[in-house]
Copies of this chain bind each other. A is one copy, B any other.
C-alpha cells in the first residue's frame, strides 16, 4: 500500500495552457488532472496511433499510469475521446478558416503565416492512424511539444511503460491494436 500524494487533488499537474505555462496553482480537487508524466505518456500513445483504445487497453494504460498518480480508467477513456475529437475539431476549423483566408486574402499576411501560426494544419489522419509507428515528428498540437520540452526525464517513464507493458500484461503490446486495424 503506497499512499502517494499524487493524483486528483494534489495536482502537481502540469498541463500547459496556450502560452507555454504549466500551472501548479492550487487547483480545486474534484476532477482528474494528468500529471506531467501521465500527460506525456498519453500523448505519446496518441501520437503512436492509439485513438480509441479498447476496454482492456484502457485498463492497461490506466494501470500503468496509476504509477504516476491517481487515475481511473474512465479518465483514460475520456482523455482519448476528447483528444481525438478535439484534434478533429481543430483540424476542421482551421482548415475552414484557412479557406476563408484564401478566399478573402488580404495579401498582407499570406497563408504561409497562418500555417505557421496555427500549426500543422492539414494532415491526413487516417494514414497517421495506421502508420504512426514511426514518429513522423508531426505532433498533433503544441501541447505535446511543451510536454516534451518541459519533461525530458519522462523518457524514463516511457521506458518503464513499455517495459511493464511487455511483461505484466497478458496481451502483447499496445501495438497489438495495430494488428487488427
Chain A residues engaging chain B, CB cutoff 8 angstroms? 10, 14-19, 30-31, 55, 58-59, 62-63, 66, 72-74, 77, 90, 92-94, 96-97, 100, 104, 106, 108-109, 113, 118
Contact B17 A106 (CB under 8 A): yes
Interface of chain A, main secondary structure? helix
Contact B19 A66 (CB under 8 A): no
- Give the complex CA separation of A31 and B19 in angstroms: 9
Question: What are 18 residue pairs bridging A and B, where the CB atoms are less than 8 Å apart in the complex?
Answer: A14-B108, A15-B106, A15-B108, A15-B109, A16-B106, A18-B30, A18-B31, A55-B93, A59-B96, A59-B100, A66-B104, A72-B93, A72-B94, A72-B97, A72-B118, A73-B93, A73-B97, A74-B97
Contact B15 A97 (CB under 8 A): no
Chain B residues positioned under 8 Å from A17 (CB to CB): 106
- A136 CB → nearest B CB, Å: 25
Contact B55 A100 (CB under 8 A): no
- Give the complex CA separation of A63 and B102 in angstroms: 12
- Give the complex CA separation of A77 and B66 in angstroms: 34
- A74 CB → nearest B CB, Å: 5
Chain B residues positioned under 8 Å from A55 (CB to CB): 92-93
Closest B residue to A90 by beta carbon equals B74
- Give the complex CA separation of A132 and B77 in angstroms: 30
- Give the complex CA separation of A77 and B94 in angstroms: 12
Of the candidates B31, B93, B113, B118, the one whose C-beta lies within 8 Å of that of A77 is: B93
